[in-house]
Amino acid sequence: MTFQIPAIDPSRLPQLLQAMPKAELHMHIEGSLEPEMIFALARRNGVELAYGSVEELRQAYAFTDLQSFLDIYYAGASVLLQEQDFYDMARAYLDRAVADNVVRAEIFFDPQTHTARGVAMETVINGLHRACVDAGREQGISAALILCFLRHLSEESAMRTLEEALPLRDKFIGVGLDSSEVGHPPEKFARVFARASELSLHLVAHAGEEGPPAYIWSALDVLGVERIDHGVQAVHDGRLMQRLAKDRVALTVCPLSNEKLCVFPALADHNIRQLLDAGLAVTVNSDDPAYFGGYVNTNFTRLFEQVPGLSARHAWLLALNSIDASFAPDADKRRWREQLHECFEQAARAL
Ligand code: ADE
Ligand code: ZN
């Protein structure tokens, strides 16, 4: 990369974080369901909720760890029944993403959460995919879907899910692995990832959110993933840090998620600067924005307010890494890199 980052007045950093083009690579679409939309869909579909009001539901968003969040997150997703529900949810997220200058969104979805309730696979994928196409046409955002397997379920269930989705193979670009991490190591899903690889699907997996560095090693070496979702526990293994840096394996880090799920005592304690300064291809993402207090730009803004020593150079690296690590066509990536450089040049001229 020959581009020199121009000198930027630190007072311009908040505006730059907002304006810079970025890719969001780690966002669970079911985690974008705002409480108001949960109640509206429950009413539309005649689904009974365990909470009496939006306020009561919001008050339940006090998490102590990943599992305490997942229990509420799966309950929230129970209001999704019709193709239009999936469409409306995804359009609402994509509108928010456009407002945050997200040029590319690679969106996770959890089909097993829906098929287990009797919702057809086509209902889920067609609704989400139509939203991606329409948002692309109307708002210019590039969006694609990544099908995630729930790791607390069996590999057989994951394999059945993949086979069931194959008639819609052209509507998703990859597979991922999410849900309860500890006790469900990546190698449990070796065969289903091998099958996905044969199908030329992109491969990603959550690893090292709460789980140990060993899970990151096995996501890389057993599953063959191209990116690690979270990965913040890598700092406990020096050899792993060197491997991630050498191979430019992107980590899709989610600062507000890590704060809300108590992965770090406070946002100020986040290790993102250590990861970046060790040469890892770190990106910033929102994970489940409706549950964790903000969309991607709020993640950037709060992070730069709280973590000491983050500069314009770090902002540029985070945005560039997100574009480089995306699975978008090279021609798009080249255009977004140029837009990113122009954005920084403009901020420098405003000195
Ligand atoms: N599903 C939704 N959000 C998740 C997270 N942060 N970790 C694992 N699975 C998830
Ligand atoms: Zn996640």
Going by CA atoms, what residue is nearest to atom 10 of ligand 1?
179
At 176, list the tokens. Answer: 């991922």
| Surrounding residues of ion ligand 2, Cβ less than 5 A | 287
Task: Considering every ligand atom shown, identify the ligand nearest to the alpha carbon of residue 288 and give its number.
Answer: 1
pLDDT category, 351, cuts 50, 70, 90? low
Q: Please, what is the average pLDDT of the chain?
A: 97
pLDDT tens for 289-344 read 999 999 999 999 999 999 999 999 999 999 999 999 999 999 999 999 999 999 99
| pLDDT the model gives residue 72 | 96
**Domain span holding position 139:** 15-349
Going by CA atoms, what residue is nearest to atom 9 of ligand 1?
179
* Domains of the chain: total: 1
| pLDDT the model gives residue 350 | 81
Q: What is the CATH number of the domain that holds 311?
A: 3.20.20.140
**pLDDT for residue 269 is more than 70:** yes
Q: What's the whole-number mean pLDDT along residues 123-127?
A: 99
Task: Considering every ligand atom shown, identify the ligand nearest to the alpha carbon of residue 261 and give its number.
Answer: 1
322 in any annotated domain: yes
Tell me the DSSP string of 202-261.
EEEEEESSSS-HHHHHHIIIII--SEEEE-GGGGG-HHHHHHHHHTT-EEEE-HHHHHHT
pLDDT tens for 33-82 read 999 999 999 999 999 999 999 999 999 999 999 999 999 999 999 999 99
Using N-to-C axis directions, what is the helix angle for 312-325 and 330-349, rounded to 10°? 170
210 in any annotated domain: yes
Q: In which element (H, E) is residue 104 found?
A: strand 102-109
175 in any annotated domain: yes
Going by CA atoms, what residue is nearest to atom 4 of ligand 1?
179
6 in any annotated domain: no
36 in any annotated domain: yes
**pLDDT for residue 22 is more than 90:** yes
> What is the C-alpha separation between 344 and 348, in angstroms, rounded?
6
Measured from the CB, is residue 150 less than 6 Å from ligand 1? no
9 in any annotated domain: no
> pTM surpassing 0.95?
yes
> 53 phi and psi, to 5 degrees?
-150, 165
Pocket perturbation via mutation, ligand 1, pick of 63, 180, 288 by most ligand atoms within 8 A of CB: 288
8 in any annotated domain: no
Could you list the active site residues?
209
10 in any annotated domain: no
User: What separation in angstroms does the CA of 17 have from each of 294, 301, 313, 343?
Assistant: 14, 7, 11, 10
**pLDDT for residue 2 is more than 80:** no
